Amino acid sequence: MKVCIISGTLPDLKCGVGDYTSCLSLELKRFANLKISVITSLDSRIKQIEGIKIIPIIKSWRISEISKLLRILRKEDPDIVHIQYPTQSYKNKLMINIFPIIFKMLFPKVPLIVTIHDVKTAHFLNKIRLLPFLFFSQTIILTAIEEKEYLLRRSPFLNKRIRVIHINSNISKYNLSTEQRNGLRLSLGVGKNEVLLSNFGYILPKKGMEVLLYSLRVLLDNGYKVKLIFISDFDPKHNKYHARLEEIVEQLNLGKHVIWQGYQSPESVSRFLSASDIAVQIYHDGVSFRRSSFLAALSHGLPIVTTKAKKLPQGLSEQLHVVIVSPGDINGLTEAIKKLIGSDSLRIKLGDAAMFFSKRFSWEAVAEKHFLLYQDIVKK
């Protein structure tokens, strides 16, 4: 079976969907020996992936490039075309959004699948951009049950065409020895008696990182010896929200207690997570299994403080797997962190439960579900 995946990004471009596409392609090749090709952006940073045909050809995802994309698809002659959406490289260009319409006109017999990684929290205009995918794709893959529930409340006619396939984190756990862990913490300026909080994932306004900074100030004022590491791209010169956070750090006199580690390789992310004591993964819209940053913290066996909107994802339990606070609640967040700092046994209990829970998310399971879906579609 020949599967052609369209993704605007792949490693080493900074994009979680690109990382996901790379891992999925490799696992599909390993699991089912499918012939996988990936059409992506023309960028020198994109790496080749062993066993996968990478076609870096799209200079810009403008409408003027659509003929190039269609020409490559005709040449590849795939059994299935699978779009990953959105990615950083698509930006606000409309080509990928109108592509399903033209594709189905020219290739009516070739199944078109789309994985939509963000529905519920997408901007209103970006939700409108989803319409061609919803109407012209044979199957729509969503990455969390709450995403399906949200979409079906507005478009119940899509029920038979939606599949939920959870993602997995692209951050494999790198085991640090005690000596390595202590050395890394020392290099970060973390003392023996200090607690290291970590936050991993893109620093975005919809995550409410200012709440975490205010909570850190309260902890310090209450006598707690604590530092906070952000494991993420941080660019206050070009990002207004990052600049705002930098201002808050200065206003609250947190400069010696906040570590901006910047964008890191998967192995380095794992090292920093393993070196931390407590993960604080907060989101305005609540925790979700579509958050690979949360899944990474789970798989590293960290005690996690996170946020709940209306309900927790299926199977995730408060006090068994995570400590829950409400979005935007500075006092609640502070008290949750205090609770974990004050109890070694609770941190161990939650960390062990998180590690065990994370085993239900595996790339093999993700690949198997995709393969079975592909088989089912091709047979029709």
Q: Say if 302 falls within a structural domain.
A: yes
Q: Please state, as a whole number, how many other Cβ atoms lie within 10 Å of the Cβ of residue 121.
A: 17
In eight-state DSSP terms, residue 312 is P
What is the percent of the chain with per-residue pLDDT over 90, rounded to a whole number? Answer: 95
Q: What is the DSSP string of 169-213?
A: -S----PPPHHHHHHHHHHTT--TT-EEEEEES---GGG-HHHHH
Tell me the chain's radius of gyration from C-alpha atoms.
22
Categorize the per-residue pLDDT at 180 as very low, low, confident or very high, splitting at 50, 70 and 90. very high
Q: Say if 173 falls within a structural domain.
A: no
15, 81: one domain:
yes
- 173 pLDDT higher than 80: yes
Q: Which domain holds residue 60?
A: 2-168+362-379
| CA 347/CA 327 separation, integer angstroms | 22
201, 122: one domain:
no
Number of structural domains the chain divides into? 2
What's the mean pLDDT in 173-191? 95
Instruction: Give the Cα-Cα-Cα angle 12, 292, 95 (nearest 5 degrees).
Output: 60
Half-sphere exposure of 232 (CA within 13 A, CB side): 21
What's the mean pLDDT in 232-242? 96
What's the mean pLDDT in 66-79? 97
Q: At 168, phi and psi to the nearest 5?
A: -135, 160
Tokens standing for 154? 């507005």
275, 211: one domain:
yes
162, 188: one domain:
no
Q: At 139, phi and psi to the nearest 5?
A: -140, 140
| pLDDT number for residue 310 | 82
| pLDDT number for residue 309 | 82
What residues have CB less than 8 Å from 217, skipping those under 6 apart? Answer: 252, 253, 254
146, 231: one domain:
no
348, 294: one domain:
yes
162, 24: one domain:
yes
What's the mean pLDDT in 176-197? 96
Q: Say if 288 falls within a structural domain.
A: yes
Determine whether 265 is exposed, middle or buried from the number of CB atoms within 10 Å of its CB (0-12, 13-18, 19+). exposed
Residue 58 Cα distances to 55, 68, 151, angstroms: 9, 8, 30
| CA 351/CA 321 separation, integer angstroms | 8
| CA 81/CA 87 separation, integer angstroms | 17
234, 157: one domain:
no
- Please check whether residue 342 is in contact with residue 219, taking contact to mean a CB–CB distance below 8 angstroms: no
102, 196: one domain:
no
Q: Say if 67 falls within a structural domain.
A: yes
- How many residues are recorded in the chain? 380
- 213 pLDDT higher than 90: yes
Residue 376 Cα distances to 80, 145, 342, 357, angstroms: 11, 21, 52, 29
| pLDDT number for residue 53 | 98
Low-confidence winner among 51-55, 107-111, 341-345, 360-364 (lowest mean pLDDT) = 360-364
| pLDDT number for residue 379 | 84
Q: Say if 163 falls within a structural domain.
A: yes
- 380 pLDDT higher than 80: no
Could you tell me the pTM of the whole model?
Answer: 0.92
Label the pairing between strands 162-164 and 195-200. Answer: unpaired
| pLDDT number for residue 134 | 96
Q: Say if 242 falls within a structural domain.
A: yes
Q: Say if 19 falls within a structural domain.
A: yes
| pLDDT number for residue 227 | 98
What's the mean pLDDT in 60-72? 96
296, 370: one domain:
no
Q: Say if 274 falls within a structural domain.
A: yes
Element (H, E) at 73: helix 66-76
Tokens standing for 336? 């949750």
308, 347: one domain:
yes
First to last CA, the chain: 14
Going through the chain in order, the beta strands assigned E by DSSP cover 2-6, 35-41, 53-58, 80-85, 112-116, 139-142, 162-164, 195-200, 226-231, 258-260, 278-281, 304-307, 323-325
- 251 pLDDT higher than 80: yes
Element (H, E) at 292: helix 292-299
262, 278: one domain:
yes
CATH number at residue 210: 3.40.50.2000
| pLDDT number for residue 206 | 87
pLDDT in tens, 281-339: 999 999 999 999 999 999 999 999 999 988 899 899 998 999 999 999 999 999 999 99
- 223 pLDDT higher than 80: yes
| pLDDT number for residue 101 | 97
